Structure 1
Amino acid sequence: MSDKPLRDAVRRLKFRVLIIGRANAGKTSILQRVCETTESPKIYRVSGGRREEVHLDPTIERGNHNIEDELIFTNHEGYIFHDSCGFEAGNEDELRTVQDFVHRKVTERRLRDRLHAIWYCIPMEMPVIAVFTKYDQFKLDVQMDLEDESEANATPTLEDINEEAEKIFKDEYWNVIKESSPKYVRLENMHEPGASCSALIIETANALDEDVLRHMLVAVQRENLMISVEMAVKRTRFGRDGRTIVESCIGYFPHLWVPVSDLIGQWCAEDLWLPCHCCSSACK
């Protein structure tokens, strides 16, 4: 029996993310690294049931996205991104726009139309809620300060730099927000082609309440084995019987999903088949 219909269903999965942060916060670099590309996203606007590509003038409208617009990278169409233009300015109308958008998107009937995660990004020069960007520049500033303060211009070691950076980070940033945001990610060198956002994806997956959403996120990452292995290890209870352990682990390796009900359970989200542990037979 061919598993092509199942693979086609996996390709149709859409994981929707709202990214929040002021201009020059490194948002575009993060999205490019997540989707493993250096290209700019295409922008689509849905109006009256029609979905059309829109083109912004890069010299005038760069970054001025309507929050309703869908940002999609052609090489990685599993993600749909929304950008909240103006949110950081504190304008009440913009704040209300974001609140209304989030409320509407989390209550959509269809799973693929819902908002699945929010990434809040602010550069290191001020306290951050969840994602600390440009951490490499922060450590470079720490290194320069240590060099200025050292006697006879001695060069600080990498261990000295990391230790001082960790101390400043905890004292001046993390201690300020840790009670309201128990998780954080520090991203470095996002402008480099080989940079990775695996930590952000893993933290996002860990923050999701529903297994089906967690599987969706892993699936749209395609075959990123590091993320699949880490999620399988973290989310599987190994004290149970062998069959249950296998079912749980396979759920985080979408390229191994097969439409055989007595091997893994299946969960149907709209017309998309996902693995789950709620039943021993297929349901639709």
Structure 2
Amino acid sequence: MDPAIVKEHFDRIGCFRVLVMGRSNAGKTTILQRVCNTTDLPEVFNSKGEKRKIPFCDTKCANYSQRGYHSIEDELIFKSNRGFIFHDSRGFESGSENEMEVVRDFVADRATTLKLEKRIHAIWFCIPMTDYERAIMAAEEKFFNECNMGSVPVIVLLTKTDFLVSPAIGQLIDEGLSMKEAKLRAGDLAEWMLNYHKTRIINELDGLKCPPKDYLTLANMNQDDADCHPLLRCTTNALGDIELQQLLISTQQTNLVLNIECIVEK
């Protein structure tokens, strides 16, 4: 993109802002690191722009929200890519009415605020396949029934889909296969399981009042060569505003494939 156009978008709208939702074991931090091409943790700023001293981490700081440090208003920013600002609705998974009200108010305010630099542009809702037997819980149902996202697209990310290989192996062994045979056939069964559960999740969420815009499966995001291109591409397609699409693409100047694809389409 023309650097002048990029600057114009950033000056008018600010950074591309994403609300990340999901359970504490959904791999949210890893996904954000991949998108921003880093292994470092983000800096955390409160709503006043003051840097917090408490580091952000799904595992080491599991009690972060419970200690009163966490707020959905907090801004998570990676030094490697300051074109993104992330918000995390940590604690949402318990599905309490108080937590739902916080999320509902935040989405309602940030989806329509006249302050363009504060507006959220997309929501990534992570559902880990480590919980494939109970993928949709009360918290998910409440969110997609009660939160009107307006024009902000919600993309459901089925994360950690590579986990399904393990129960696939166990099922094949239970059926009488040897360990060697089970490992050879586990990939096909795991793919079938993923398609089955993805279809079940889509059918359930699409039947609620405020369904997602799209669905995406992610695997092996903890590996150094993990590809976040499908996520960025899916998010770009979900945006209804060409200016926002250009803003998102501009944060990924090193992602030549994404840039070329969007240029060809336009």
* TM-score normalised according to structure 1 size: 0.72
Query: Amino acid of the residue matched to residue 127 of structure 1?
Result: A
The one of 93, 96, 107 aligned to 1:91? 96
The 8 Å contact of residues 169 and 183 in structure 2, kept in 1 or not, is answered as: no
Q: Is 1:192 matched with 2:223?
A: yes
Whole-angstrom distance in 1 between the partners of 2:201 and 2:47: 40
Q: Distance in 1 between matches of 2:128 and 2:201?
A: 15
Alpha-carbon spacing, 1:145–1:190, altered in 2? closer, same or farther (3 Å): same
Partner amino acid for 2:16? F
Q: Distance in 1 between matches of 2:90 and 2:82?
A: 22
Q: Which has the larger radius of gyration?
A: 1
SS at match of 2:247: helix
1:127 equivalent in structure 2: 135
Q: How many residues align?
A: 229
- The CA distance in 2 between the partners of 1:232 and 1:150, in whole Å, is 53
The answer to whether 1:230 aligns with 2:261 is yes
Whether 2:71 is the aligned partner of 1:66: answer: yes
Question: Could you say which residue in structure 1 is the equivalent of 2:114?
Answer: 109
How many Å separate the matches in 2 of 1:165 and 1:60?
A: 30
- The within-5 A match list for 1:1-284 is 6=5, 8-9=7-8, 13-47=14-48, 51-56=49-54, 61-62=63-64, 65-124=70-129, 125=131, 126-127=134-135, 130-156=156-182, 160-178=185-203, 180=206, 181=212, 183-233=214-264, 236=265, 248=266
Is the Cα contact below 8 Å between 1:70 and 1:80 reproduced in 2? yes
Which structure has greater helix proportion? 2
In 1, are the aligned partners of 2:128 and 2:158 still within 8 Å (CA)?
yes
Do the aligned partners of residues 171 and 183 (structure 1) sit closer, same or farther apart at CA in structure 2, a change above 3 Å counting? same
Q: 1:182 to 1:56 in 2, by over 3 A?
A: closer
Q: State the distance in 1 between where 2:35 and 2:81 align.
A: 9
The answer as to whether partners of 1:135 and 1:188 remain within 8 angstroms in 2 is yes
1:16–1:8 distance in 2 versus 1, CA, 3 Å: same
Residue 111 of structure 1 deviates from its aligned partner by: 2.6
Structure 1 position 60, deviation (Å): 7.0
Residues 183 and 163 from structure 1, CA distance in 2 versus in 1: closer, same or farther, beyond 3 angstroms? farther
Aligned-partner Cα distance in 2 for 1:152–1:5: 62
**Once the 2 structures are TM-superposed, how far is the Cα of residue 156 of structure 1 from its aligned partner?**
4.1
Distance 1:39 1:80, change over 3 A: same
Structure 2 unmatched runs, 5+: 141-155, 207-211
Partners in 2 of 1:151 and 1:60 — Cα distance?
39
Are the structure 2 counterparts of residues 73 and 102 from structure 1 closer, same or farther at C-alpha, using a change threshold of 3 Å? same
Unpaired runs of at least 5, structure 1: 237-247, 249-284
Measured in 2, the distance between the counterparts of 1:170 and 1:29 equals: 23
Whether the 8 Å CA contact 1:127–1:173 is kept in 2: the answer is no
Moved more, 181-190 or 199-208: 181-190
Distance in 1 of aligned mates of 2:261 and 2:230: 11
Counterpart-to-counterpart distance in 2, 1:11 and 1:106? 18
1:177-203 per-residue CA deviation (whole Å, 9 max, x = no partner) reads 236146321111122222122111111
Partners in 2 of 1:230 and 1:6 — Cα distance? 18
Q: Compute the TM-score of the two structures, normalised by the length of structure 2.
A: 0.76
